[in-house]
Amino acid sequence: MTHGAKSILLIIGGGVAAYKSLELIRELARRDIRTRAILTRGGAEFITPLSVSSLSGEKCYTDLFDLTDETEMGHIELSRSADLVVVAPATADLMGKTANGLANDLASTALLATDKPVLFAPAMNVRMWEHAATQRNVETLQKDGALFAGPNSGEMACGEFGPGRMAEPLEIADAIDAYFAKSASGPLTNKKILVTAGPTHEPLDPVRYIANRSSGKQGYAIAAALRNLGADVTLVTGPTSIALPAGINTVRVETAREMMAASEAALPVDCAIMCAAVADYRPSIETDHKIKKERGGLTNIPVAENPDILKTVSQLQTNRPRLVIGFAAETDDVLCYAEAKRKRKGCDWIVANDVSPGADCPMGGERNEIILITDKGDENWPQMPKDEVARRLAVRIGEALAGPSLVKAAE
């Protein structure tokens, strides 16, 4: 997302996760977000001021009582010159000082002096994170209006496992994007949009299910791109292993029937984008014990048809979204099958792509090459990263919703 002249003040606390702040600076630069940084004494034990300034293109600030800095940019001005203050990694010490109004170094003084929102990305040992004092401080900071990204669960540098890992740089950058999108007016401001993403899992027994290869990456990218243009997005997602986009109302589901119910509950919306790869069928019987192949139980599984979410939403008599977009992942005759699907389902647009074994962009990959099919014709988009597909599609949706109401596609 390009935010124009947006900037952050990044406060880098002391901890092993400090190295991730360097990648965060790099990622923010890719998104045209300028970074000034304060490196704490603890942070400087893990990374250097030179590495920070080299990536940010700005001086790295370290000392509260540097008279030159106080002449050129005092700590008060430094704390207020950015659009957002980000603390990553946010140590228990930094959060405790901020929650209790303490200021004895440049970082804590800037946090106390700022008039801008603060986003904390906590990083600490799991026992420290779960300690009652830390949780009280987090609660105080949240009441004071602070934002949080993470922490994530996982293995610590100390060998323990649990919550306390700093969120990944992409997750933090996404949270920053979410803040800027929410605080700015975009072409989709005040528009409500539903996005479905990922696969569905249709259980057969306690250990098996029917599913597909969808990763959810394209749907998640679309939800984030819509959010970046100001939309109020509800993401209904099947099981995935990727991080949820920040700043989005997310509903996790497992089966097609659960996705249908969650999609209906999200209505009314201005636009519905059905990107999920929903299983067409489910086992009509589900057992509470593992089916043994030795007894022939897996050779003849009766199935039942799942609800058709795209068709149901497209053909609603009331609460039909102004724009309904379906997806068609095909392995042959892509354009022919996709155009037929648009007419059969009754949706306004179809996004089609080739997922055959020899295709350049298989399901689960990082790139996509699509055909956008509307009542005005077909558009072949070149191969590009899924984030860029999402950005371009979000812009087109904004243009469509800004115009007169769309005519429902022929059934």
Residues forming the active site: 158
Helix or strand run (H / E) with residue 93: helix 92-99
Do residues 178 and 246 make contact, with C-beta atoms less than 8 angstroms apart?
yes
* Nearest in space to 92 (alpha carbons), one of 163, 44, 32: 163
CA angle at residue 48 from 120 to 122, to 5 degrees?
15
Give the list of residues 6+ apart from residue 118 with CB closer than 8 angstroms, or none: 84, 85, 86, 87, 98, 111, 141, 146, 147
Do residues 28 and 58 make contact, with C-beta atoms less than 8 angstroms apart?
no
The residue assigned the tokens 């949820």 is: 244
Helix or strand run (H / E) with residue 388: helix 386-402
**With 0-12 CB in 10 A as exposed, 13-18 as middle and 19+ as buried, what is 238?**
buried
| Integer CA distances (angstroms), 184 to 189, 230, 348, 402, in order | 9, 7, 29, 18
C-alpha R_g of the chain: 24
CA–CA separation, 394 vs 2, rounded Å? 14
